[in-house]
Amino acid sequence: MFHYTMPPCCLILNDRSVHHDVKGHPESEQRVEQIRPFLPGSMTRIPAPLASMDDLLRVHQPEYLSRLEDLCTRCRPGAAASLDSDTYVTSGSWDAACGAAGAAIAAAGQALSGRPAFAVVRPPGHHAGPMYGMGFCLMNNAAIAAAWALLRVARVAIIDWDVHHGNGTQNIFYDSDRVLYCSVHRSRFYPGTGRPEETGTGAGEGFTVNAPLPPGSETDEYREVFERVIIPATELFDPDLIIISAGQDSLADDPLGGMRLRPRDFGTITELVCSIAKKPPALVLEGGYGLSHGEAIGEILGVLDAW
């Protein structure tokens, strides 16, 4: 790790997410409401800018974006439509998704300037691919931020610790040697991708690293996979920027995850990533639906603010 004095960590917040909300759905605005008490009042808060169409088109195909925007536009106020069996949109979802993507870009920009940043946003993104949204995700926030960063730096690593494999992120960069995608996730779980033999294709061969763990994995299993797989692969790649797809749905109390991590474990794995980073990381919120999610966010922010 480079030892220098950094500006304090900042938070990028997407106020537009309140308009992408279906009460009772796991991915609702209640997630942010539960996190908010754990966001230190002393941290600088930056409102999320809207991502531009150029930003979105670096990752998503125009046909998909047009279909998504049209579906949102046709929603009546207070109603919702289905993108798939898990994923809804409302009349405000397009702006909410553009705000989440813009927040991820802003976090990457802060990190490149030497300041750790966490985009505490929704809707999440890592399941969204070039031509589809799925799994609660509309646009791939982390991938959009990485594509933006690649206009400014040579190499970006995306480390995804969400309990679900980020199939969309993998798909987007599967043939690229400029993005290292590393994912630790629950094996044989939604969406069914992320096997160790999925390593990339063409120029991207070897730049996708999947480390599935069995259901019920705890601290020791996660620490081992980071120390033996994720951290060495990232250090060898030597990225100019690390973006973390930060999903905390592997907490023991998460209703969707089936893993057994504790909040303080997320501070530990954040420390491991920071230990090999040239610049502070940019974190982008993915999943996390349990009561201890806010506490885990607090542990992550404590590490970022002290580094």
Show which residues are catalytic. 127
Q: Please tell me the number of Cα atoms within 13 Å of 247 on its side-chain side.
A: 35
Question: Using CA atoms, how far apart are residues 143 and 168, in angstroms rounded to an integer?
Answer: 9
List the structure tokens of 8: 């304090």
Q: Strands 117-120, 88-89: parallel, antiparallel or unpaired by DSSP?
A: unpaired
Q: Are the CB atoms for 53 and 138 separated by under 8 Å?
A: no
Closest C-alpha among 225, 194, 294, 210 to residue 254: 294
List the structure tokens of 208: 């996708």
Query: Sign of the C-alpha dihedral, residues 172, 197, 210, 239?
Result: negative
List the structure tokens of 86: 């898990």
Residue with tokens 């996390």: 288
Question: Using CA atoms, how far apart are residues 284 and 106, in angstroms rounded to an integer?
Answer: 10
Q: Are the CB atoms for 79 and 90 separated by under 8 Å?
A: yes
Strand extents, DSSP E, 48-116: 81-82, 88-89
DSSP 8-state assignment for residue 8: P
Give every CB contact of residue 85 below 8 A, 6+ residues apart in sequence. none
Element containing residue 180 per DSSP (H, E): strand 179-186
Question: Using CA atoms, how far apart are residues 121 and 102, in angstroms rounded to an integer?
Answer: 10
